[in-house]
Structure 1
Amino acid sequence: MNLLLADLHKFVGYSGGIEHVLSRMAFAMAERGFTVSVVMADEKEGEPFYPFPDSCHFYNLFHMAGMKPVHMSALGKGLREVTRLFSQEGARDRNYKMLAAAAPQLEKVLEREKPNVIVSFREPTGRLLLEGLSTDIPVISMLHNDPDEIFAHSPANEKRALEKSAAVQALMPSFISKAKKYLRHDHLVYIPNAVNIPDLTADPGQDRRTYTITNVGRITGRTKRQHLLVEAFSLLAKDFPDWQVELWGDTYDKAYVATIKRLISKNGLEDRVHLRGTTKDMAPVWQHTDIFAFPSHHEGFPLALTEAMGVGIPAIGYKSCPAVNELIHDGENGFLVDDGAGPLAEALRKLMESPALRRKMGQNAQESMKPFAPHVVWDEWDRLIQEVGKKIELRFE
C-alpha cells in the first residue's frame, strides 16, 4: 500500500513536535511494509530536522524539481498579520490562500506517488487536499492539539473540509467529544502518540553534586510558558543552592526568548537557569534530570513530557492543561497544580526536598507510560490505515 504523509509546514531546521511524530510514523510504517512518501512545504531549501527512511520519497512543495518555486509574498504575510489583529479566522483563511498557491505541486506529488491513503498532519493541509483539490484519495486527518484550541477560531470552510476525511484521529479520549462539537463526523478515532523511550532508566533519587529541573519545548509564551518555571524557581533558588534549571527547545520566538533572558537576569539566575537550544540526542538530558517541569497552557499529547516520564522522571504540570491533566496522575507519578508560579514552586519544593519521593514517583511515571509503547500505537495506526484503504477499494469495485 502506498502511504503519503502530508504536513504543509516549514521543516528546515525546525524541531516541532508534529514534525517529530511525522518522522517516527514514516519509519514505523516503512518497517511495516508500506511504501511511504512525505510532502512538506518550506520557503527555505534544506534538510528536515528529523530524518526519514532512505526508501522514502521526500518533497518540498515550495521547491519541486521542474516546477517554479512557490513563495508566500511579503504583502500577503503582512495582510495576514494585520488581519490577525481583528480576526484569527480571517488570518487562517489568508494563510490558506497563500498555501493553496502550491496546489499544482501537490497534484504532481499525488500523480507520481499514487497514494492509497493520505495522512494529513495539519488542518490547512487537509483543507487543501479535501477542498482545494477535492481528492478521492482517502485522507485521515490528525488533530495534534486540544480540539477547543484547534477549532475555536477555525474558518468554517476548514471544518467543512475536514468533515470529508475518511477518519479523524484525536490524541486523547476526552478529545473525541470535544471534536464532535465542531465536526459532523462519524469516524473519530482515539490513537495517542507513541512514546519513544530511550534504552535507559533515570534515577532522579540519586545523590548528585548538581540537581536539575528540566523543561523541553519551544521557548514560546502562549503555549509553553517557560517564564512561569523561571518565576517559580526564583522563589526557591536561595533555599536550594545545588539546583539548576535547563530549558531545552527552539528559540525562534525571539521576543519571548528576550523576555525569558530579562527575567533570568532580573532574578540573578544567570548561573542557575540555562537556555540549551535543541538536540537530537535526549538520552544525556534525561540521565541528569531530577524533575520535569511543564507549565504549558494547552497540549495535544506532549512528547517531551511522556518521554521524561517514560524514563522514570517525576513531572509537574497544571490541572488546567488539557492532555497534561490526563497523563500526570496527581500524587502518583507527579503533581498537578493550580495555575501560576506559586503553586508550581510549592510542588517543586516537595520533590526537591525528597529524593525518595522523586524516585517513587519516577518509577510510577515509567509504569504509566507503557500503554503508549511504540509497537502498540503503530499497530493501531496500521489497522486504521488498512481499514480506510480497504473501504475505498470496496467502493470502487
Structure 2
Amino acid sequence: MKIIYCTHSLCNPGGMERVLVNKVTYLVEKLHWDVSIVTTDQKGRPSFYPLPAGVRVTDLGINYSDDNVKSVTGKILGYLQKRRRHKRLLTSLLEREKPDIVVSLYPSESSFIPDIKDGSKKVLELHFCKYFRLQYGRKGLLGIIDKWRTHQDERIVRRFDKFVVLTNEDKEYWGNLHNIEVIPNAAMNMGGHFSDVANHRVIAVGRLDYQKGFDRLIQAWCYIQRDGRYQDWHLDIFGQGEWHEMLENMISERNLNDSIRLNNPTNQIGREYAQSSLIVMTSNYEGFGMVLVEAMACGVPAVAFDCKCGPRDIISDGENGLLVSNGDIPGLAEAMMKLMGDYELRRRMSVKARQVVDTYSEKAVMDKWVRLFTSLAVK
C-alpha cells in the first residue's frame, strides 16, 4: 500500500503533528507500507517528532503562513496565488508518485485535491470540529469569509471518497453524509509512566494561542489562589505560541509567578503527566482533545470545558474527570478545587481514567484506519 499524507508542516510540537507521526510510524514499522508526507510550510525545519527511517518528506515551498502579517486584501490575494501554485505542484507530484491513497489533513489542499485525477483515492481527515472557523468570532470581512468558508466546507467534504472526523459529536454536526466515518486519536504508550495523584501539581498542555484558552485557566487559578487552601499546589503549562508574552504578563500582573510556570514543549510529556495529579483543558474549541487521552492513559484525572468537540466523548463526568460548561471560569475553579482537595476522589478517578486505553488504544484505532484504507484500495 502506498499512501501520501498532505499537511501544513511537521516542525511544531502540536497534537496533530504527533498523531500524524504516530500513524505513519505504525503503518511503516508494523505493516511495512510505503508512506510519505507532503508539506507546504516546512521551510527546511526538522520534524519536532522523529519519523521512522525511510519516510520521505517533500516540502512544496508554498508557505501560506507568510501572508499572516498582510492586510485582509493581501491575505486573500496571496492565498489565491499560492493556492494555484499549490495545486500545480501537488498535481505533478501525485501523477509522478501514483499513490493508492492520498490523505489531506485539511484545509490547504482540501478544496482542489479531489480534482486531481492521479488514480488515487482521496481521504479528508479533519482535526478540528465543523465550526472551528467561527469560534474566533471575527467581525467585518474576515467574519463574512469565515461564515462563507464554513458553508463551503459542507460541499467540499462530500467530494472525498472518505471523510474522517474524530468524535461522534462532530459527526452529528455534519449530518447524514454518505462518506463520513469516526476514527478517534489513539491513547499512545507514554513510556509506562503513571501518576499516583499525590503530587500537588496541575498540568495543561497545548499551543499558547486563542484555541487553547490558557488565559481562562490563569483566571481560574486566581480564584483558587484566593481561596487560600491550595497555596502548595502548582500549575505547569507546556507549550509555545504567539500568546506566550501575553500569558506571562497575565501571570505577573496577578502575582502568580510562584505558582504558575510556562514551560517549553517536551518530547518526554509522559513523565510530566506522571508527576501531575490533574490535567486541565480550557480550550475554546477542539477537534478531539489528544492531551486528555494521553494524560488519562497515565492515570491523571481530567477537568475540561465542555467545548466543541472532544471532551464530551472522552470524559465521563464524575467518573474519570469533570466537565464544566464552556466559559464558566468560576465553575472551572470549583471543579479543580473539588479534585485538588480530595485525594481519594483523585485516586478513584485515576483508576477510571486509565481505562481510556480500552477505547483509544493504538491497535484499536489503527485497525480502523487499516480497514478504511484497505477497503478503498480494492475498489
User: Which among 181, 197, 203 is matched to residue 214 of structure 1?
Assistant: 203
- Could you tell me which amino acid in structure 1 is paired with residue 88 of structure 2? P
CA distance in structure 2 between the aligned counterparts of 1:258 and 1:201, rounded to whole angstroms: 32
RMSD across aligned positions (CA): 2.4
Instruction: Report the TM-score, using the length of structure 2 for normalisation.
Output: 0.88
Gaps of 5+ in 1: 63-69, 85-90, 392-397
Please name the residue that 1:270 is paired with: 257
Structure 1 residue 239 corresponds to structure 2 residue 229: yes
Moved over 4 A (4+): 70-74, 76-79, 91-94, 155-159
User: Which among 345, 359, 363 is matched to residue 357 of structure 1?
Assistant: 345
CA distance in structure 1 between the aligned counterparts of 2:330 and 2:304, rounded to whole angstroms: 13
CA contact (8 A) 1:93 1:155 kept: no
What is the Cα deviation at residue 95 of structure 1?
2.8
CA distance in structure 1 between the aligned counterparts of 2:22 and 2:345, rounded to whole angstroms: 33
CA distance in structure 1 between the aligned counterparts of 2:230 and 2:54, rounded to whole angstroms: 51
Identity of aligned residues (%): 25
- Could you tell me which amino acid in structure 2 is paired with residue 172 of structure 1? T
CA contact (8 A) 2:197 2:300 kept: no
Gaps of 5+ in 2: 135-145
Please name the residue that 1:197 is paired with: 189
293-302 or 321-330, larger mean C-alpha shift: 321-330
Q: Are the structure 2 counterparts of residues 96 and 243 from structure 1 closer, same or farther at C-alpha, using a change threshold of 3 Å?
A: farther
SS at match of 1:99: helix
CA distance in structure 2 between the aligned counterparts of 1:321 and 1:56, rounded to whole angstroms: 34
SS at match of 1:299: coil
CA distance in structure 2 between the aligned counterparts of 1:321 and 1:158, rounded to whole angstroms: 17
CA distance in structure 2 between the aligned counterparts of 1:38 and 1:96, rounded to whole angstroms: 23
Instruction: Report the TM-score, using the length of structure 1 for normalisation.
Output: 0.85
SS at match of 2:110: helix
CA contact (8 A) 1:96 1:124 kept: no
Please name the residue that 1:373 is paired with: 361
Q: Are the structure 2 counterparts of residues 386 and 97 from structure 1 closer, same or farther at C-alpha, using a change threshold of 3 Å?
A: farther
What is the Cα deviation at residue 103 of structure 1?
2.9
CA contact (8 A) 1:204 1:359 kept: yes
CA contact (8 A) 1:351 1:358 kept: yes
SS at match of 1:42: coil
Q: Are the structure 2 counterparts of residues 353 and 72 from structure 1 closer, same or farther at C-alpha, using a change threshold of 3 Å?
A: closer
CA distance in structure 1 between the aligned counterparts of 2:332 and 2:79, rounded to whole angstroms: 37
Structure 1 residue 164 corresponds to structure 2 residue 151: no
Q: Are the structure 2 counterparts of residues 328 and 94 from structure 1 closer, same or farther at C-alpha, using a change threshold of 3 Å?
A: farther
Structure 1 residue 102 corresponds to structure 2 residue 86: yes
Please name the residue that 2:298 is paired with: 311
Please name the residue that 1:137 is paired with: 120
Please name the residue that 1:178 is paired with: 173
Q: How many pairs does the alignment contain?
A: 363
CA contact (8 A) 1:204 1:291 kept: no
Q: Are the structure 2 counterparts of residues 179 and 97 from structure 1 closer, same or farther at C-alpha, using a change threshold of 3 Å?
A: farther
SS at match of 2:224: coil
Please name the residue that 1:288 is paired with: 275
- Could you tell me which amino acid in structure 2 is paired with residue 165 of structure 1? F
- Show CA shifts across 1:201-220 (max 9, x none): 523433x4xx1100000011
- Could you tell me which amino acid in structure 1 is paired with residue 253 of structure 2? K
CA contact (8 A) 1:204 1:355 kept: no
Q: Are the structure 2 counterparts of residues 216 and 77 from structure 1 closer, same or farther at C-alpha, using a change threshold of 3 Å?
A: closer
CA distance in structure 1 between the aligned counterparts of 2:63 and 2:307, rounded to whole angstroms: 39
Please name the residue that 2:112 is paired with: 128
CA distance in structure 2 between the aligned counterparts of 1:232 and 1:78, rounded to whole angstroms: 32
